Amino acid sequence: MIPDPLFERLARLPVADPTPEFSAKLRAAACARLCARPVHPAWAWLVATWVAGYLGWAVHVSSSLYRLDPTTHGDRERRIGANATSGGGSHGDSVVDYGTP
């Protein structure tokens, strides 16, 4: 390892204990940075509203993946028959021919 001249000069400095006033000031500043500050209620409402809106959107989009196609008018048997005859996968996730409206 190559000796660093800066570290050598730092090692030669005399060790001095901090004064009690400096220690108290440093401790107070550290505690002030570590302690959580209260959040304004408007920010809390904004974040809560945003999260609720996002979750509502996610549920809406997720549920739209499972809705019936409006052109089938809820004709479940026709969709099942289309899946069975189209060489579908094991879970019925193949391409479904919904027909013309």
CA distance readout (Å), 33 to 26, 27, 36, 51, 74 = 11, 10, 8, 28, 60
pTM for this prediction: 0.36
Residue 75's CB is within 10 A of a number of other CB atoms, namely 15
CA distance readout (Å), 7 to 2, 3, 13, 14, 62 = 11, 8, 10, 13, 60
Radius of gyration of the chain from its Cα atoms, rounded to whole angstroms: 34
Q: What is the pLDDT of residues 39-94, one digit of tens each?
A: 889 999 999 999 999 999 999 888 887 766 555 555 555 555 555 454 444 555 55
Residue length of the chain: 101
